[in-house]
Structure 1
Amino acid sequence: MSKTAKIIVGLIVIILIIWGISAATKKGGAPTSSEPIKIGFIGPLTGNAANVGQNAKAAIEIALSEVNADGGINGRPLEIIYEDGKCTSKDAAAAAQKLINVDKVPVVFGGACSGETSAFTGLAEQSKTVVLSYCSSAAAITNAGDYIFRNYPSDNFQGVFAADYIKNKLNKSKVAILYIQTDWGIGLNETFSKKFVELGGTVVASEGFQETNKDFRSQLSKIKVANPDVIYFLGYAGQTVPALKQLADLKYKVSMFGGDAWDDQQIITDAGSAAEGIYFTVPSSSPSEIFKTAMKTKVGTDEIAVCTPTAYDGVHILAQVLKNAGVEPTAIKDELYKTVYAGGVSSKEISFDSNGDPKTADYTVKIVKNGKIEVVQ
């Protein structure tokens, strides 16, 4: 073969290689890979809301197993890097820094507590990292950015629902509010107070407290003088348990109503009889028997805590999106806005509005009776 012929053959081979790569790229968006797709998780695995975080993690692991047993993401296994946000802004921010800047994940699944999520939405938006929170409800997250989503409803829904229920179902006209000074507590307090007054009710006292507060006797004594029909208490297990016990110590009998953070077995276990008769709101869900059985096998109890159904559904939502969009964050973000997820355990159908929030929300009221959490019929 002449030198010229060898050059021509070489050029043909190069052209064929380039054409093959181009064809593969057009079909799959990138050359095929069997490498795992890794996303990040932030939630309270220790700290004040650890029971909620661990229960959600169990559901996430169940969903992850299902996704990978079904072929993963177009043949690639899905992996989750777990980071402990401890329900604090400081720890969540550090966790997000690692996931985004070191692990280079395209998606952060979390946080759970609103303060966790709010601590890193700025970094996520700046770096164009998609965030899907399975549990954060603070109203302020609605405007956190174009890459920020949640499949858990905003407190703009919860505050209005709670105000209406207390005023019109329980027929309570005077309320005192004790609220944790985080994005969740502050936002829910504002939404609830506004609606309750609009309905003709009166807020006779409103007191904020720090996350580290364990002594509520002074605030409860002042509230007792104000003589409310009900106390609306917005706190996590770490604050709720001592508050309920101190209320009992003061022999102050008043109706207690809480937010979704009270759907936590740790509160009932640790507060004991002091938790008897408390009411609280949670997003409605309808876990299947298959899901209930899987959770009981995983955690050893019947408990399905607040945010556990949305944590499970969130994994399946992300798997659906990743299959359609690939791993490029902007493509993931655009696909989420178009997503309609049906057949989950937290809601019959989940889709997102222009702010990345769920379009609809329904709530259920629960009560503690004989040491057990029951749905109010």
Structure 2
Amino acid sequence: MKKRMLILSSCLFAVCLFLTGCMHTTKEGVSNSDKSVKIGVLLPLSGGASSYGEEMMMVLKHKNAMLKNPAELHFEDSKCTASDAVSGFQKLVDLKSVDAILGGFCSSETLAIEPLLEQNNLVAISGTSSSPEIEGKSQNMMTLSYSDNVIAEAMAKHLAGSKNIAIITEQNDYNIALKNSLENLLGDKIIANEVFEKDAKDMRNIIEKVKQSSPDVLILNPNIGDTTTTLITQLAESKDYFKNIKLVSQETYVADSSRVGVEDLVEGMVLFAAPTLSDSRVDSFIASLPSSVDNLGVFYSATAHDALENLVRAVQDSRLNNTLVLDELRNGPLSGLVVKGKDFAGKNFVQGIEAGKFVVTKGKAVSQK
């Protein structure tokens, strides 16, 4: 009898050890599977792009509340600059001990934190960064956006029959990358190629230089934020000149609020940006968001949803499976509204995202499906 009890006790002890191992108990005696997931979020919460950062924060908080096991979200103000992104990253790592990073928001932020990811054994997913320079960087850095190369290719195709093209660009990683792509694709068709300083307040000298080149097409390439409005407003001061010139731009002028007061000038303006999403799940999520989320747009609201969903799932699965978070993200299809069923295929950009085309009509950016 004693022998049978001893065998039974040994078996029970072995089972307990097995279950304990499966639950990945920490030194503090708390199961890893029971610990909340900590996500560090880098967003521009001050500066010219703050309205977009604040709206994305609302989207992320809303999505997080929908999760079965909500994560701890820790926000840092990255201000759409490389230095502030690095500072925010270090705070999230050193003070909050986050499990993963959602960000950066701007490409300059994403490129700045990329070298720090492997050093700290962390992964990051951006829902918005689109600079082609991201491709080929650390596998720990991923983005759910399209690449600016996709936008440049769509613009070049649209302008295939055009000559005498001028470009006005803001000195910023995202915009310079798009400019470089356009230069490669348009070549000698570009007759004026002007760059203004980041966050500049006066672009009138550059506008005059463009006028002197007598372009048939003008590509406006400012960053999101205050310079978007400043550039188009100062361009409107020469409305009689530019009203006969074809205007083309990117994501920054899709929001109708970015073109208020210059409706006559921008009528017919062609925009290449995030694609239009036609999906009842997307519609349902967008309808559930606070009404104050009105500039971020459907696509980036949806990619914010997907970035958080996939990061939280990857951290949770890595604990259950005793695997790396990176492997969970890269070794299988993603979930969500935009990227469901898609993967990275060894790239930094999620594959299969195409450009959307819009035409400004009676004050509205109308999708050209």
Same fold (TM over 0.5): yes
Distance 2:353 2:281 in 1: 24
What's the counterpart of residue 257 of structure 1? 248
Alignment counterpart, residue 291 of structure 2, candidates 284, 297, 300: 300
What's the counterpart of residue 4 of structure 1? none
Alignment counterpart, residue 172 of structure 2, candidates 182, 187, 211: 182
Structure 1 residues 115 and 327, CA gap change in structure 2 (3 angstroms):
farther
2:224 matched to 1:246?
A: no
Structure 1 residues 298 and 141, CA gap change in structure 2 (3 angstroms):
same
1:1-377 to structure 2, matched below 5 A, reads 20-25=16-21, 27-30=22-25, 31=31, 34-68=34-68, 72=69, 77-167=70-160, 171-197=161-187, 202-235=189-222, 236-251=224-239, 252-253=241-242, 254-269=245-260, 274-286=265-277, 288-289=279-280, 291-300=282-291, 303=294, 305=297, 307-326=300-319, 331-342=324-335, 344-347=336-339, 349-377=341-369
Distance 2:119 2:257 in 1: 37
Distance 1:65 1:274 in 2: 43
Q: What amino acid is aligned across from residue 267 of structure 1 in structure 2? A: S
Q: What amino acid is aligned across from residue 203 of structure 1 in structure 2? A: I
Deviations 1:7-39 (A, max 9, x none): xx9xx99997686244322x3344355332111
Structure 1 residues 276 and 185, CA gap change in structure 2 (3 angstroms):
same
Structure 1 residues 322 and 250, CA gap change in structure 2 (3 angstroms):
same
Structure 1 residues 116 and 138, CA gap change in structure 2 (3 angstroms):
same
Deviation at 1:193, TM superposition (A): 1.6
What's the counterpart of residue 3 of structure 2? none
Deviation at 1:281, TM superposition (A): 1.3
Structure 1 residues 327 and 269, CA gap change in structure 2 (3 angstroms):
farther
**SS of aligned partner of 2:67:** helix
The answer to whether the 8 Å contact 1:340/1:351 transfers is yes
The answer to whether the 8 Å contact 2:23/2:320 transfers is no
Q: Which runs of 5+ in 2 are unaligned?
A: 1-5, 26-30
**SS of aligned partner of 1:299:** coil
Worse-matched range after superposition: 287-296 or 249-258: 287-296
Deviation at 1:115, TM superposition (A): 0.9
The answer to whether the 8 Å contact 2:101/2:125 transfers is yes
Root mean square deviation of aligned Cα: 2.9
Deviation at 1:262, TM superposition (A): 2.9
Distance 2:197 2:284 in 1: 38
Structure 1 residues 302 and 80, CA gap change in structure 2 (3 angstroms):
closer
The answer to whether the 8 Å contact 1:277/1:369 transfers is yes
Worse-matched range after superposition: 321-330 or 146-155: 321-330
Structure 1 residues 327 and 80, CA gap change in structure 2 (3 angstroms):
farther
Equivalences, count = 353
**SS of aligned partner of 2:342:** strand
Distance 2:216 2:20 in 1: 68
Structure 1 residues 324 and 32, CA gap change in structure 2 (3 angstroms):
closer
Structure 1 residues 327 and 250, CA gap change in structure 2 (3 angstroms):
farther
Worse-matched range after superposition: 83-92 or 263-272: 263-272
**SS of aligned partner of 2:194:** strand
Deviation at 1:234, TM superposition (A): 1.5
Deviation at 1:104, TM superposition (A): 1.6
The answer to whether the 8 Å contact 1:267/1:275 transfers is no
**SS of aligned partner of 1:47:** coil
Structure 1 residues 264 and 100, CA gap change in structure 2 (3 angstroms):
farther
**SS of aligned partner of 2:155:** helix
Structure 1 residues 128 and 272, CA gap change in structure 2 (3 angstroms):
farther
Deviation at 1:228, TM superposition (A): 1.5
The answer to whether the 8 Å contact 1:164/1:196 transfers is no
**SS of aligned partner of 1:206:** strand
Structure 1 residues 51 and 41, CA gap change in structure 2 (3 angstroms):
same
The answer to whether the 8 Å contact 1:248/1:274 transfers is yes
Structure 1 residues 292 and 39, CA gap change in structure 2 (3 angstroms):
same
Q: What amino acid is aligned across from residue 106 of structure 2 in structure 1? A: C
Identity %: 23
Distance 1:327 1:356 in 2: 25
